[in-house]
Structure 1
Amino acid sequence: MVETGLEAFRFSISWSRLTPNGRGSVNPKGLQFYKNFILELVSHGIEPHVTLYHYDHPQQLEDEYGGWLNRRIIKDFTAYADVCFREFGNHVKFWTTINEANIFTVGGYDGGNTPHGRCSTCLSGNSSTEPYIVAHNLLLDHASASRLYRQKYKDTQGGSVGFSIFAIGFRPSTNSKDDEMAIQRFKDFFFGWMLGPLTYGDYPEGMKRILGTRLPVFTKKESEQVKGSSDFVGVIHYLAASISNAQSQPSLPGNSAFFTDIGASLTCRNYNPQ
């Protein structure tokens, strides 16, 4: 990294490695590993950017209450974040709570082709409801960890807490009004799903209209906590896509309720789903 001239490096801390049971005692070897690594970066002038969650959490939390499908994870994740802020915060100034929150939610609980492998046609899962439940809990979880940092650590450590999404460059397949409307639905579902609550405290009206009772509702207090809870938004961008209006199943792997809800098909460029 030094020879390449890197000035910053983003990496993830494994929740399972640091607190294997999900809460309680910290694994001293895991703690020391990350301390050594962070100090090595800093000593060579490389700014560490830490992601707290990159799709793995302790198995005990999955077995005990279903992981992200249960709001109980908010308390446990906030406690895990507290350990990280306390132990590494003197050298880490940039924290991302969740990596690619939207694609993690869709892939893990709608298509089933990424962790945690749940979908309507998988061994377990419900693609029509679980992605929206998980996303809701992710947002509340982020807000909780961000609030903790601002109340307990920001004044002394001076860092920032942000959120990460996966971004696609959209363009309509044709100049038709239907394809233009499909683009807006894609933006609502793919970007506004996460950025709407973080910016305005609520989901886009288009999502609420299409999903109805399948979309969880923020209480007034939750809305106030989520709104403005990100100091920055991390955008991860790999590809572009053409969007077409569609009422049938889109041309994507798996039985995806999420893309059916959008009512559009997506054709990626420079992308092989295999």
Structure 2
Amino acid sequence: MKVIWWLFILNLQNMGFVLGVGHHKYCRHDFPPAFVFGSATTAYQVEGAASQDGRTPSIWDTFTHAGYANGATGDVAVDQYHKYKEDVKIMAEMSLDAYSFSISWSRLIPNGRGPLNPKGAQYYNNLINELISHGIQPHVTLTHTDLPQALEDEYGGWLNPRIVKDFTAYADACFREFGDRVSYWITVNEPNVFALGGYDQGVTPPRRCSPPFGINCTRGNSSSEAYVVVHNILLAHASAARLYKRTYQEKQKGLIGISIFTFGVVPNTNSTEDVMAAKRLNDFTIGWIASPLVFGDYPDAMKKLIGSRIPTFTNHESELVKGSFDFLGVVHYTTLYVQNDPGSLLRKQRDYYTDIAANITNFEEIFVTAEYPILPWALQGVLEHIKQTYGNPPVYIVENGQRTKRNSTLVDTSRAEYLQAYIGSTLDAIRNGSDTRGYFAWSFLDVLELLDGYGSSFGLYYVDLDDPDLRRLPKLSSYWYSHFLKGGSVSPDILIQLNTNFSASRGHFFQ
């Protein structure tokens, strides 16, 4: 990537008054005709029924039952397992094109390998059929953090190359059972964040880390395990994708990809050192996953700085991984400001965060405060970066949304403003040549969040956890999204008008 690219990013930042909240008037019809709009959740966060009908624990069950996630568990969650028909009806009323959800591996194949659980297969068949009967496309992720605990216990899960065979067999079962109706598959959700949270910092399942990194872990190696896990995930993804393309794709006519967690990345100053630090951070986040998929190997910066701690692809593995996708899924929420920190490379013990040799200067603003700053130009920058660096592959924005504290009001103005700004920025990226084909708002409902349980929310719909029926209530953001999906134009003035109308009719539920 040339330094001139980062000057483009800085120009987008400086143009924030133009590209800010609701930066122009637009409507759904301004997007390409085949563009898909949807919303998303994942299995453990919404399904509940955690020990019903043959499902066995995943590493996420173990994590929450140990008291993490702010003491919350997914035992009941928001009970979509029993309320899926109600939820699909709401989706149809909103005019969603698609619903993105994940399959619980331990619900479908309780031991991680072996025969299917008939009741698990029936649930996902029922959900898929219900979606299709309402004209809603099912977009399916095969695994979203929730590896079966049985495989973790048996051989260490994603740390062991044996996972490639078991994941491929699981993927085969999903393609065989559901592929006649599912046309969009993501193999593994954001492997970069999964590896860092679970194997470097130890703040997410399976809680592996080592001193001086991470938080109170009793096992692990923060210096190397995250790199090993991503390597095995890439090999498992490539194996499953190869199987799909050889055995199922011609008949089922579907597409397969993988999702990547992304940040907007902006150098703290215009100095060459900070610009190069920002480039490195993008190599270590997006490039960690995308470079092997597009070029067959990790970015040169990663190999140089990490050395022997990052696994090496054999020639055969490189050929298998290269090109093993039809699209990339982009997960994007917020933006990092970075400055060069070469001193971190002098430390005796290093992990991913010291390997980057860059400091995140707005860490507290991003990771501690409740709401994300609304910086839509950063999403446009991510899409432009993928276009320029990786040959403009098809992209689906599979998660994008605003975090707020657990609801005290249904008038979630900041979430509506966020959606309006970031969808508008997606349109700008498409007009600039990005092959972005879909957008999924995270999340459809208020769900169990991994780090703080129900302390924060991203939902378009509030779920009343004190109600035995777990009543779903629309927020202003759902009102805005539905207005947009039904063809209404959106602009700052429209947002004010929708806010006024919604507040008068529904917004005082909590008062």
The two structures, once aligned, show a CA RMSD in angstroms of: 1.5
Query: Which stretches of structure 1, 4 residues or more, deviate above 6 A after TM superposition?
Result: none
* 2:111 paired residue number: 21
Q: Amino acid of the residue matched to residue 359 of structure 2?
A: S
Q: Amino acid of the residue matched to residue 106 of structure 2?
A: S
Map 1:110-121 to 2 at 5 A: 110-121=200-211
* 2:262 paired residue number: 167
- The offset of 1:246, in angstroms, is 1.8
CA–CA distance in 1 between the matches of 2:367 and 2:312?
36
1:39 is matched with which residue: 102, 112, 129?
129
- The offset of 1:247, in angstroms, is 4.1
SS class of match (1:161): strand
* 1:86 paired residue number: 176
- The offset of 1:269, in angstroms, is 8.0
User: Greater CA deviation, 55-64 or 129-138?
Assistant: 55-64
- The offset of 1:273, in angstroms, is 3.5
- The offset of 1:21, in angstroms, is 0.4
* 1:182 paired residue number: 277
Judging changes above 3 Å, is the alpha-carbon distance between structure 1 residues 34 and 245 closer, same or farther for their aligned structure 2 residues? same
Q: Amino acid of the residue matched to residue 45 of structure 1?
A: G
SS class of match (1:271): helix
* 1:252 paired residue number: none
2:190 is matched with which residue: 89, 97, 100?
100
Output one character per residue of 1:103-130: Cα deviation in whole Å (capped at 9) or x when no partner: 1111111111112211114111111100
* 1:127 paired residue number: 222
CA–CA distance in 1 between the matches of 2:290 and 2:337?
22
* 1:6 paired residue number: 96
CA–CA distance in 2 between the matches of 1:190 and 1:177?
20
Map 1:46-57 to 2 at 5 A: 46-57=136-147
2:152 is matched with which residue: 34, 38, 62?
62
Q: Amino acid of the residue matched to residue 154 of structure 1?
A: Q
1:264 aligns with 2:358: yes
SS class of match (2:334): strand
> TM-score scaled by structure 1?
0.95
- The offset of 1:193, in angstroms, is 0.8
Query: How many pairs were matched up?
Result: 269
* 1:149 paired residue number: 244
Output one character per residue of 1:213-244: Cα deviation in whole Å (capped at 9) or x when no partner: 11101111100000000100000100011011
Query: Which sections of structure 1, spanning at least 5 residues, go unmatched?
Result: 250-254
- The offset of 1:271, in angstroms, is 2.4
- The offset of 1:140, in angstroms, is 0.3
> TM-score scaled by structure 2?
0.51
1:212 aligns with 2:307: yes
Kept in 2, the 8 Å contact 1:55–1:104? The answer is yes
Output one character per residue of 1:168-206: Cα deviation in whole Å (capped at 9) or x when no partner: 001011112221111111011111111010000001111
- The offset of 1:268, in angstroms, is 4.4
- The offset of 1:272, in angstroms, is 3.2
